[in-house]
Amino acid sequence: MKKLITITLAIMSISHILFAQKVTIKGNVSNSPDPSVSINTPLEGLYFSGQNAEVKSDNSGNYQYTFDVKTPGFATVINNFYPVVLYIEPNQTYEVNYSKNAEPQIKGYNASAQMLINSLGVGQEPKMEIEDLSKVKGASAKIEFAKKAERQKLQQVEDAYKNKLMTEQMYNALKSEVENLTSLLLSTDFFFTYREDYEEKENGGALFMNEYGDAWTKLYDDMAHSKTFLSSPGLPRMMVYYCSFSEIKNTGKLNFNKPGVPGINDIKLYKENIKGNLLESAWANAIIEGISMNRFEPEWEENFAEFKKTFPQSKFTSSLSPYIQAVITYNDNLTKNNPNVKFLEGLEKAKTLKEVFAKLKGQVTYVDFWATWCSPCRKEMQYSKSNHKELAKFGVQTAYISIDKDADHNAWKSMAKSLSLEGLNGRVNAAVNKELYKSAPQFKGIPYYVILDKEGNPIVWSAKRPSEKNDLFEQIREVVEKNTSKK
């Protein structure tokens, strides 16, 4: 009997390890302009940019997402473009609350340690550190500067562990991630050092490689042999800089106008130089990053087929499939006619913004200035399309106005159709584009939004983005109410 109990307990213990357990991430966004959160979760402990869930909050601003986890790893919660990174462990609950004008609050399991993760800069662009490191000259001096900062961070992790603020598993993972952050910091700095100090010089590439080539090579050699970099949220950015490094090394310069599909060009480089698990992860993440630019090149379908052939048992395949289906749907839409995607023919003949806006009078209009080459624009459009029903309740129309060049006229029309930009669509000429950049209030580039009254007069310049749903709807409501009171 005792032997049977021992065997049963052993099986239960193995099952506990092998089978997924639940993790819950919850919180409140009632004081945030965006009523939803995006949550990226680890895939069997590995970082994968395609492992995302969009979670909407309820009427009180509360959200909750429960999911299976086999292996601990880093998760990222994003609301209104503000990321919070968590180290998640099975059977635990984590809480992240967002406010409009304050830092997100982290509560729940290991809250103090989770706050340490974010103060260390895990999963974030190390802007301040890059600025400080840029003042240091020479590869050896830069490495020593970065290593000194690394030692300080490791001491913070050590102190937190000694004070029992984290588990041993989290402690080991965070120590490794601090080292990964140093590699990412140096790789980022080396890239910008080339751009700022060497790119314009004669034989700049050779001069740069003479000073930084060995150091940069070692960063990627270490990464290739690392058992933890595949779990790092910094992996995709590290691989982007790998492509830049390889290009400088092989050609002596950077070429931002290479033919072909950018992400697929990167994958070709990966296949030539790396292998095994790193190639699988880098390739899968590159597919996501490439498709997320929302250009939906048909070549991605063939590339995915090659990925599946190369890695027939890949854990990434099921998560990649919806992204490939989006590519297929996009290209299918090129041959379809959606009557709700309406084109303002001849808008490019308008000579001023005032003339453009006059073409839109009749309803309160939310104007979205964008371009086919603008990735942030296309990302915002996913929110914009989901806002259409709410705007329709206000009697508001959406106008998508492209600033693409004349040579890209057909590409613009094709993208508007394929993205199903329901509403009014038009393209302006170079003169209007110049006026927009020069004269539009608070203009810092596209995407850029304006709210017009029924007469085509701009009422709100630099209006809220589609992703800032609550604040945008409040702006719209005020404009509609003012127009109604004029009757």
The full set of domains in the chain, from first to last, is 16-109 (2.60.40.4150), 127-330 (no CATH), 341-485 (3.40.30.10)
Mean of pLDDT values over 64-89: 94
Q: Which of 158-172, 281-295, 363-377: highest mean pLDDT?
A: 158-172
| 389/394 Cα distance (integer angstroms) | 9
CB-CB neighbours of 249 under 10 Å: 14
| 400/369 Cα distance (integer angstroms) | 6
Residues 6+ apart with CB under 8 A from 384: 368, 398, 466
| 199/252 Cα distance (integer angstroms) | 9
CA dihedral 66, 69, 72, 76 (to 10 degrees): -40
pLDDT higher than threshold 50 for residue 2: no
- Percent of the chain's residues with pLDDT above 90: 72
- In this prediction, residue 9 carries a pLDDT of 41
Block residue for tokens 């492992």: 51
- In this prediction, residue 20 carries a pLDDT of 63
pLDDT one-digit tens code per residue, 159-173 = 999 999 999 999 999
Per DSSP, the residues of 444-471 read -SSSEEEEE-TTS-EEESSPPPTTSHHH
pLDDT one-digit tens code per residue, 215-266 = 999 999 998 888 899 999 999 999 999 999 999 999 999 987 778 888 899 9
Bridge-partner residues for 423, per DSSP? 341
Measured between alpha carbons, how far is residue 105 from residues 76, 100, 469 in Å? 14, 12, 21
In this prediction, residue 19 has a pLDDT band, given cuts at 50, 70 and 90, of: low
In this prediction, residue 124 has a pLDDT band, given cuts at 50, 70 and 90, of: confident
In this prediction, residue 146 has a pLDDT band, given cuts at 50, 70 and 90, of: very high
- In this prediction, residue 6 carries a pLDDT of 45
- Percent of the chain's residues with pLDDT above 70: 95
- In this prediction, residue 441 carries a pLDDT of 92
Mean of pLDDT values over 401-430: 92
Mean of pLDDT values over 181-205: 94
pLDDT higher than threshold 70 for residue 10: no
Specify the amino acid at residue 222.
D
**CA angle at residue 70 from 64 to 71, to 5 degrees?**
100
- Mean per-residue pLDDT over the chain, rounded: 90
Mean of pLDDT values over 89-93: 95
Sheet arrangement for strand 396-402: 341-343, 423-427, 396-402, 364-370, 448-452, 458-460
Bridge-partner residues for 52, per DSSP? 40
pLDDT higher than threshold 50 for residue 457: yes
pLDDT higher than threshold 70 for residue 117: yes
- In this prediction, residue 70 carries a pLDDT of 87
- In this prediction, residue 264 carries a pLDDT of 94
Structure letter (DSSP) for residue 349: G
Residues 6+ apart with CB under 8 A from 309: none
